[in-house]
Amino acid sequence: METATPDDPNLLDKVINLAKRRGFIFPSAEIYGGFRSTYDYGPLGVNMLRNVKQAWWTAMVQRRSDIVGIDAAILGPPAVWAASGHLETFTDPLVDCLQCKERWREDKIDGVCPNCGSTKFTEARAFNLMFKTQAGPVEGEGATAYLRPETAQGMFTNFNNVLAATRKKPPFGIAQIGKSFRNEITPQNFVFRTREFEQMEMEYFVPPADAPTWHQYWIKERYDWYIGLGLPSAKLRLYEHAREDLSHYSKGTTDVEFEFPWGFDELEGVANRGDYDLTQHSNASGVKLEFFDQTTNEHYTPYVIEPAAGATRAMMAFLLAAYCEDEIEGEVRTVLRLDWRLAPYQVAVLPLSKKPELEGVSQKVLGELQPYFMCDYDVTQSIGRRYRRQDEVGTPFCVTVDFDSLNDHSVTVRDRDTTSQTRVKIDDLLGELRTRTGQH
Ligand code: ATP
């Protein structure tokens, strides 16, 4: 079986096209001409995005006894962002091209305007990336609120609440998945950089002396998470930030990078934030955010190791890495080789014809699988066309119900990657699919 060249120069366009056509990702407000760089997740995209987030939650919360989750508010008062340093320093250097007047982020353009080629710009100004809004009907200072530009601060401001509620001790973590907002100067590359996006972040609180070891531990864990879900190691690398490029809070950051069509770029940052955040919030709020170690009878401020990933950006990487064109019996097909845990549908139930007897059995099979798998059901077009449609959206298994099924109580299970077909008793089908997905 041939695999399409992974370095297809049109890969990005093909994936964007497929994403729109098959209902993964639509441009927002398209009937009004769109709203630059915002996207809506369609019927398949919402499944896949939820799967990405679930895979993260399973690895980071469910399968660990040292990490708990929260879901904090998106709107926050200025005090939080003053203490975190975001009001002061969460800025990008903004320049205007003197020739065409386009605005750019200075550190992303190498001194040449991507629009007109000019090399003459205004002096760079610090542009704050936070979205500011008004909470409540009163205009004015007291009612100012910000949309969070990262989920992390909710973990710091709730540090004491979580400690009291869970009795956790360092090393322990608080995890959160949710929307963040940044008024990016140049949002671009599909959902890679958007103004509204989803993050998956975890703050891991450790005794200060142990921070370097935990930092290395989390860099490896997070790299392995992407590998485990199917990103090829040849397309992943670790990039350690130079000291002078570190964010205001960081004592050291290593990014997990993926080779996007434009080159290696950040998927996730794993930072050693030291005691910066807890100290800042303790000082600003007057509430001590510390841990009391009963064995030494001492209070201390834990250090924080933070793996910060983007859910929407990760989904894009999984789509790009999964996209393949191969040839089956002389016919080119498009196939998304997605890990079954990420695929929008794990199973498609396909009655060979619309005859009521077949549909009856098919509906029964569907009902038995639906509690365990996200299933599609498709009765339109020829069976070959239906297989291609499922391949194209990454469905690992097609279950075909044909006329023999009425007598032998069996169905055909077709595998997306090998296209092999196996006859399986309906009674054994659920067990077969669970075995094939490594669930027992
Ligand atoms: P950059 O320097 O590229 O603007 P960053 O280093 O500031 O990004 P972080 O603050 O480390 O990004 O955010 C953690 C993760 O959140 C990123 O690795 C990325 O996956 C995701 N992320 C950040 N900004 C965006 C965005 N505008 N659109 C989509 N995902 C984003």
> Which residue's CA is the nearest one to ligand 1's atom 21?
310
pLDDT of residue 176: 98
Q: How far is the CA of 90 from the centre of ligand 1 (A)?
A: 12
Answer whether 310 contacts ligand 1 (Cβ < 6 A): yes
In this prediction, residue 7 has a pLDDT band, given cuts at 50, 70 and 90, of: confident
Residue ranges of domains in the chain: 11-75+150-319, 345-436
Q: Which residues pair with 328 in a beta bridge?
A: 331
Maximum Cα–Cα distance for the chain, whole Å?
78
- What is the C-alpha separation between 417 and 396, in angstroms, rounded? 7
Answer whether 269 contacts ligand 1 (Cβ < 6 A): yes
CATH (residue range 345-436): 3.40.50.800
Q: How far is the CA of 310 from the centre of ligand 1 (A)?
A: 7
Q: How far is the CA of 46 from the centre of ligand 1 (A)?
A: 21
Burial status of residue 190 (CB atoms within 10 A of its CB: 0-12, 13-18, 19 or more)? buried
The pLDDT tens digits of the residues spanning 284-306 come to 999 999 999 999 999 999 999 99
| Whether residue 423 has pLDDT greater than 60 | yes
> Which residue's CA is the nearest one to ligand 1's atom 5?
269
Answer whether 105 contacts ligand 1 (Cβ < 6 A): no
**What amino acid is encoded at 269 in this protein?**
G
The pLDDT tens digits of the residues spanning 191-221 come to 999 999 999 999 999 999 999 999 999 999 9
In this prediction, residue 141 has a pLDDT band, given cuts at 50, 70 and 90, of: low
Of 190, 199, 201, the one to substitute when testing ligand 1's pocket (max ligand atoms within 8 A of C-beta) is 199
> Which residue's CA is the nearest one to ligand 1's atom 29?
193
Answer whether 218 contacts ligand 1 (Cβ < 6 A): no
In this prediction, residue 328 has a pLDDT band, given cuts at 50, 70 and 90, of: confident
Q: How far is the CA of 168 from the centre of ligand 1 (A)?
A: 29
pLDDT of residue 140: 64
Q: How far is the CA of 165 from the centre of ligand 1 (A)?
A: 31
> Which residue's CA is the nearest one to ligand 1's atom 25?
193
- Which residues, at least 6 apart from 355, have a Cβ–Cβ distance to it below 8 Å? none
Whose CA is closest to 202, among 395, 59, 376? Answer: 59
pLDDT of residue 212: 96
- CATH superfamily of the 11-75+150-319 domain: Bira Bifunctional Protein; Domain 2 (3.30.930.10)
Answer whether 84 contacts ligand 1 (Cβ < 6 A): no
| Whether residue 246 has pLDDT greater than 90 | no
Answer whether 184 contacts ligand 1 (Cβ < 6 A): yes
Rounded to an integer, the average pLDDT of 402-431 is: 97
Answer whether 268 contacts ligand 1 (Cβ < 6 A): yes
- Candidate from 99-103, 271-275, 348-352, 367-371 with smallest mean pLDDT: 99-103
pLDDT of residue 249: 79
> Which residue's CA is the nearest one to ligand 1's atom 11?
269
End-to-end CA, the chain: 29
Answer whether 308 contacts ligand 1 (Cβ < 6 A): yes
pLDDT of residue 4: 46
pLDDT of residue 277: 97
Answer whether 86 contacts ligand 1 (Cβ < 6 A): no
- What is the C-alpha separation between 236 and 238, in angstroms, rounded? 7
Q: How far is the CA of 253 from the centre of ligand 1 (A)?
A: 13
pLDDT of residue 283: 98
> Which residue's CA is the nearest one to ligand 1's atom 22?
310
Mean of pLDDT over the chain: 94
Answer whether 412 contacts ligand 1 (Cβ < 6 A): no
Whose CA is closest to 340, among 439, 419, 427? Answer: 439
| Whether residue 386 has pLDDT greater than 50 | yes
pLDDT of residue 343: 98
Rounded to an integer, the average pLDDT of 98-120 is: 91
Answer whether 193 contacts ligand 1 (Cβ < 6 A): yes
Q: How far is the CA of 213 from the centre of ligand 1 (A)?
A: 24
Task: Read off the tokens for 422.
Answer: 């196996």
Q: How far is the CA of 133 from the centre of ligand 1 (A)?
A: 22
* Three-class DSSP labels, the chain: CCCCCCCCCCHHHHHHHHHHHCCCEEECCHHHCCCCCCEEECHHHHHHHHHHHHHHHHHHHHCCCCEEECCCCCEECHHHHHHHCHHHHCEEEEEEECCCCCEEEHHHCCCCCCCCCCCCECCCEEEECCCEEECCCCCCHHHEEEECCCCHHHHHHCHHHHHHHHCCCCCEEEEEEEEEECCCCCCECCCCECCEEEEEEEEEEECHHHHHHHHHHHHHHHHHHHHHCCCCHHHEEEEECCHHHCCCCCCEEEEEEEEECCEEEEEEEEEEEECHHHHHHHHHHCCCCCEEECCCCEEECCEEEEEEEEHHHHHHHHHHHHEEEEEECCEEEEEECCCCCCCCCCEEEEECCCCHHHHHHHHHHHHHHCCCCCEEECCCCCHHHHHHHHHHCCCCEEEEECCCHHHHCEEEEEECCCCCEEEEEHHHHHHHHHHHCCCC
| Whether residue 3 has pLDDT greater than 50 | no
pLDDT of residue 232: 97
pLDDT of residue 55: 98
pLDDT of residue 248: 78
| Whether residue 138 has pLDDT greater than 80 | no
Q: How far is the CA of 38 from the centre of ligand 1 (A)?
A: 15
